[in-house]
């Protein structure tokens, strides 16, 4: 253990009868990278929220080293005090104002409201010095909305360093990065930790944890159950510590693709909200195969999913499922046999204030098993929900439980049950394991392989290259709305895919 900069002592946090954190103690040393692991709902977010002052612990305290090295208790419930104590956070979803410049984003919130002028020259000089020391290069005059994802992440880190952070919390920092951008981040972390910055690294990607962490701590059901130096650790051991049992990744047996199920011919879709659309996209997905779509977020994935789901109409080209042209009507897409697993389960996948059983029948309200003569058959709906809960291991109080009370993993299992139980011809899976722990991810992967095995065509849209390689038979890459064939799984090179995702290889 190096010179301590952070001590979390016996922190407990309760939400009613739920104990989110149970007497957790952690230490962090100067220049150390501590990986914090755990399943969804294990208590990681709650613990970090207490550290940053968003929550107040019921028991225990947090102590932080001052500039002189002396440890002092951190005032609870005060983000301002946490920032003043040298704690910085970089969230998975960046908190940047796209219309402002990089310099303005970094300075935002650091100046007194009553000062009639802005000292941009001093701020620019400090940032240029930080960039030179750390290798975090970005144009300070650029609009943040025009930056790449990797550049935006650099801005977030610069925001923390500008505020003199000595402890940096990184929450899923590589979730939206290409492999090359992730390597760049790890190189930056080495420079920063060599200068004394302490890092808490939260990730579900165990390979990255093993590559970057000095020490690993695992939370399970609110308790710290494992802590060890990163010497001789492996993915299987970490996964078992997280879920409490050995995990075996689902096997993807060889398949024999059949007829084309999904076909896009010259499809163009207008972009919106600063995100790319589609430009003359051609794509075919056959029965019994999984085609993976790789790409950095915002390169046309949303447009591709929306046009197949019937949410938007193409401005050119045709989309067909089993030879039938799709119209811009979600009901028609469901009727044509499209099972949809949307990218944002909270916004598009479920209605949080409705029950589990109600969410399970949302796409089949007019089906013969759901209604008769316009009257919903509640007993049949209940039986169907109970069977789905058991088959997909949805851990909830029961079919009448409100969906907003479920964890992210169980919410995703619910979405999978609704999409897959009808045995659709085409499964559209957009970011199916985003934000899920290793156990829930394995369950999602097994269901998609199972759908492929019974003859469904599966289109997998994902930014996780490990997931892409584990599931896909073929891979295509999206860059600025253009689809490029990368090849079959056995021929894939992860570095080449990363270059294609960045637009540096294979694009016309």
Answer whether residue 139 is part of any domain: yes
The contacts found for 337-340 with CB under 8 angstroms, 24 or more apart, are 337/424, 337/425, 337/426, 338/308, 338/309, 338/310, 338/424, 338/425, 338/426, 338/428, 339/419, 339/420, 339/422, 339/424, 339/426, 339/427, 339/428, 339/451, 339/456, 340/309, 340/419, 340/428
Answer whether residue 345 is part of any domain: no
The model's pTM: 0.72
Answer whether residue 57 is part of any domain: yes
For residues 25 and 105, state if they share a domain. Answer: yes
What would the pLDDT profile of 281-317 be if each residue is shown by its tens digit? 999 999 999 999 998 877 888 899 999 999 999 999 9
For residues 429 and 359, state if they share a domain. Answer: no
Q: Which domain-ending residue is among 418, 448, 466?
A: 418
Answer whether residue 343 is part of any domain: no
Q: What percent of the chain has pLDDT over 70?
A: 97
Q: At 92, is the pLDDT very low, low, confident or very high (cuts 50, 70, 90)?
A: low
What would the pLDDT profile of 455-499 be if each residue is shown by its tens digit? 999 999 998 888 898 899 999 999 989 998 878 877 777 778 888
For residues 409 and 492, state if they share a domain. Answer: no
Q: Note down the domain range covering 367.
A: 352-418
For residues 450 and 365, state if they share a domain. Answer: no
Answer whether residue 147 is part of any domain: yes
With beta carbons less than 8 A apart as the criterion, state whether 481 and 278 touch.
Answer: yes
CATH of the domain at 325: 3.40.50.300
Answer whether residue 166 is part of any domain: yes
Answer whether residue 346 is part of any domain: no
Q: At 411, is the pLDDT very low, low, confident or very high (cuts 50, 70, 90)?
A: confident
Sign of CA dihedral 269, 274, 275, 280: positive
For residues 117 and 52, state if they share a domain. Answer: yes
For residues 331 and 407, state if they share a domain. Answer: no
48-62, 142-156, 172-186: least confidently modelled range: 172-186
- Tally of structural domains, the chain: 3
Answer whether residue 344 is part of any domain: no
Is the model's pLDDT at 145 over the cut of 90?
no
Give the separation between CA 174 and CA 296, rounded to whole angstroms.
11
Q: Output the pLDDT for position 7.
A: 96
For residues 192 and 284, state if they share a domain. Answer: no
For residues 458 and 389, state if they share a domain. Answer: no
For residues 177 and 207, state if they share a domain. Answer: yes
For residues 189 and 130, state if they share a domain. Answer: yes
For residues 377 and 488, state if they share a domain. Answer: no
For residues 308 and 270, state if they share a domain. Answer: yes
Averaged over 187-213, what is the pLDDT?
90
């Amino acid at each position: 253990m190096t010179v301590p900069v952070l001590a979390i002592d016996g922190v407990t946090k309760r939400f009613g009868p739920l104990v989110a954190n149970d007497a957790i103690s952690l230490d962090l040393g100067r220049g150390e990278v501590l990986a914090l692991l755990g399943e969804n709902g294990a208590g990681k977010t709650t613990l970090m929220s207490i550290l940053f002052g968003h929550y107040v612990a019921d028991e225990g305290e947090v102590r932080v080293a001052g500039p002189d090295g002396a440890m002092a208790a951190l005032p609870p419930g005060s983000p301002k005090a946490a920032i003043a104590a040298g704690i910085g956070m970089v969230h998975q979803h960046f908190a940047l104002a796209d219309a402002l410049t990089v310099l303005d984003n970094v300075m935002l919130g650091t100046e007194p409201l009553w000062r009639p002028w802005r000292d941009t020259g001093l701020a620019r000089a400090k940032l240029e010095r930080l960039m030179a020391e750390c290798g975090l290069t970005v144009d300070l005059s650029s609009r943040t909305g025009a930056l790449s994802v990797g550049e935006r992440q650099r801005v977030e880190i610069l925001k923390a360093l500008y505020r003199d952070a000595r402890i940096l919390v990184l929450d899923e920092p590589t979730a939206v990065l290409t492999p090359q951008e992730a390597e760049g981040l790890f190189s930056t972390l080495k420079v920063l930790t060599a200068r004394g910055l302490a890092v808490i690294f939260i990730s579900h990607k165990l390979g990255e944890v093993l590559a970057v962490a000095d020490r690993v701590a695992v939370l399970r059901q609110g308790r710290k159950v494992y802590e060890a130096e990163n010497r001789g650790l492996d993915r299987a051991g970490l996964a078992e510590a997280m879920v409490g049992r050995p995990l075996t990744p689902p096997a993807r047996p060889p398949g024999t693709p059949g007829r084309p199920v999904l076909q896009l011919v010259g499809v163009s879709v207008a972009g919106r909200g600063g995100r790319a659309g589609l430009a003359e996209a051609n794509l075919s997905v056959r029965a019994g195969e999984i085609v993976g779509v790789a790409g950095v977020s915002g390169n046309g994935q949303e447009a591709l999913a929306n046009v197949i789901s019937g949410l938007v109409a193409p401005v050119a080209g045709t989309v067909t499922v089993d030879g039938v042209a799709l119209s811009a009507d979600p009901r028609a897409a469901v009727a044509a046999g499209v099972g949809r697993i949307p990218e944002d389960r909270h916004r598009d996948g479920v209605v949080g204030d409705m029950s589990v059983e109600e969410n399970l029948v949302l796409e089949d309200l007019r089906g013969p098993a759901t209604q008769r003569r316009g009257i919903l058959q509640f007993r049949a709906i209940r039986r169907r929900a109970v069977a789905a809960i058991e088959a997909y291991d949805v851990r909830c109080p029961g079919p009448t439980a409100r969906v907003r009370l479920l964890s992210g993993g169980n919410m995703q299992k619910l979405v999978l049950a609704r999409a897959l139980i009808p045995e659709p011809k085409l499964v559209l899976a957009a970011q199916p394991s985003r934000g899920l722990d290793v156990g829930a991810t394995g369950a999602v992967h097994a269901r998609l392989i199972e759908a492929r095995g019974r003859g469904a065509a599966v289109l997998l849209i994902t930014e996780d290259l490990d997931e892409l390689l584990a599931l896909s038979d073929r891979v295509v890459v999206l860059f600025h709305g253009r689809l490029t064939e990368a090849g079959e799984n056995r021929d894939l090179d992860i570095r080449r895919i990363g270059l294609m995702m960045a637009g540096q290889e294979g694009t016309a």
